[in-house]
């Protein structure tokens, strides 16, 4: 059973069919890429999978559970994390607090116990702070743990967003263009991080325009064009597929 199975998914916005009967699967433990020209429907696909939008028709199964009608927080609870194409960190919180928000569900305290700062809340908070700091260390952001997130560079905020998603302890993480806006050095570091995340046991589904990076890290790539799946396969096969070249890769420089 694949970790994620999308079946014949259609998504209509007013007057626009963003996805037209797309089926694809993500196996456990892989890094899967999703590529395609602007407006192909990649982000729409992620919104449907993470529950932020409901599909017009079709179904989506995650770990064998039908999630097409579920709320984002329920899907998160099943073990899925995601990042956004335009970075959505919480600027008025520190870096470490951003990650701690990702651990929200691990904390069992309620409003009264938090307000009274009972001894076990204190312990719980300390524990989560330590864990969140560890996450920042893994991501190479620990030196700036106390910085308000808005003071981090764009690239650092994108990494922080990944950290926040990982803090929920997901089986699968959706990354929407993690390399966009990053310097070449940052892209290289990001590629390594993504591979390390996979080694830690998290499956990765990544939308990316940066062909060099996708070709390097992905085990498998799916290609969307005008809301339809036009190809799926290993990176080498995708690179040479004439339909993909015509729709998308034509003129792409391999960075």
Partner 1 sequence: MVERIRREFRKRDLCYLGALLLLPLIWPDPHLHHLLVLAGIYAILALGLSLFLGYAGQISLGHAAFFGIGAYTTAILTTRYSVPTFVAFWASAATAAVIAYLIGRPILKLKGYFLALATLGFGEIFLVMVRESRSLTGGVSGIFGIPWFSLAGFSFDTYLKQYYLIWGVLLGLLLFAKNLVRSKVGRASLAVATSEDAASTVGIKVAQVKVGVFVVSAAFAGFAGSLFACVMSTASPEAFGLSLSILIVMMVIVGGMGNLYGPIVAAIFLTWLLDILGGYQEYSLPIYGVILILLLIFFPEGIGTRLGIRLMYLISYRGRKKKREEVQL
Ligand X SMILES: Nc1ncnc2c1ncn2[C@@H]1O[C@H](COP(=O)(O)OP(=O)(O)OP(=O)(O)O)[C@@H](O)[C@H]1O
Give contact residues for Mg ion (rule: CB under 5 A). 43, 85
Is residue 225 a contact residue for ligand X (CB under 6 A)? no
- What is residue 216's three-state secondary structure? helix
Q: d(Cα 83, Cα 156) in Å, to the nearest integer?
A: 13
* β strands within 120-161, DSSP E: none
Q: Applying CB under 8 A, which residues contact partner 1? A: 50-52, 71-73, 76-77, 81-82, 84, 88-93, 97, 100-102, 104-105, 107, 109, 111, 114-117, 121, 125, 128, 146, 148, 164-165, 167-168
For the CB of residue 39, give the shortest distance to ligand X in the complex, in Å: 4
Give me 241's structure tokens.
């597929």
**128 or 222: whose CB is closer to partner 1?**
128
Counting every residue written for the chain, the total comes to: 255
- Per partner kind, with CB cut-offs from 5 to 8 A, the member of Mg ion, partner 1, ligand X, none near residue 245 is none
Q: d(Cα 197, Cα 207) in Å, to the nearest integer?
A: 16
Is residue 117 a contact residue for ligand X (CB under 6 A)? no
Is residue 33 a contact residue for ligand X (CB under 6 A)? no
For the CB of residue 244, give the shortest distance to Mg ion in the complex, in Å: 18
Of 6, 1, 47, the closest CA to residue 174 belongs to: 47
Q: Is 183 buried (19+), middle (13-18) or exposed (0-12) by CB count in 10 A?
A: exposed
**Which residues of the chain form contacts with ligand X (CB under 6 A)?**
13-14, 16, 18, 36, 38-44, 85
């Amino acid at each position: 059973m694949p970790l994620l199975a999308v079946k014949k998914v259609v998504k209509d916005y007013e007057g626009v069919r963003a996805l037209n009967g797309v089926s694809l699967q993500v196996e456990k433990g892989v890094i899967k890429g999703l590529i395609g020209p602007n407006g192909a429907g990649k982000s729409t696909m992620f919104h449907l999978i993470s529950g932020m939008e409901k599909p017009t028709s079709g179904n989506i199964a995650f770990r064998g559970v039908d999630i097409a009608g579920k709320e984002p927080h329920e899907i998160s609870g099943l073990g899925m994390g995601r990042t956004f194409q335009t970075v959505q960190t919480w600027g008025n919180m520190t870096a470490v607090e951003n990650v701690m928000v990702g651990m929200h569900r691990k904390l069992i305290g309620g409003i009264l116990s938090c307000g009274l700062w009972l001894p076990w809340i204190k312990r719980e908070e300390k524990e989560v702070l330590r864990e969140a700091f560890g996450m920042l260390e893994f991501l190479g952001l620990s030196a700036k743990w106390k910085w308000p997130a808005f003071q981090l560079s764009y690239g650092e905020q994108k990494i922080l967003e990944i950290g926040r998603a990982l803090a929920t302890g997901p089986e699968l993480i959706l990354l929407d263009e993690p390399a966009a806006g990053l310097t070449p050095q940052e892209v290289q570091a990001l590629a390594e991080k993504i591979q390390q995340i996979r080694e830690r046991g998290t499956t990765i589904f990544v939308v990316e325009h940066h062909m060099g990076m996708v070709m390097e890290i992905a085990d498998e790539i799916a290609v969307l064009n005008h809301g339809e799946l036009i190809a799926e396969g290993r990176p080498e096969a995708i690179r040479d597929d004439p339909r993909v070249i015509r729709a998308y890769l034509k003129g792409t420089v391999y960075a």
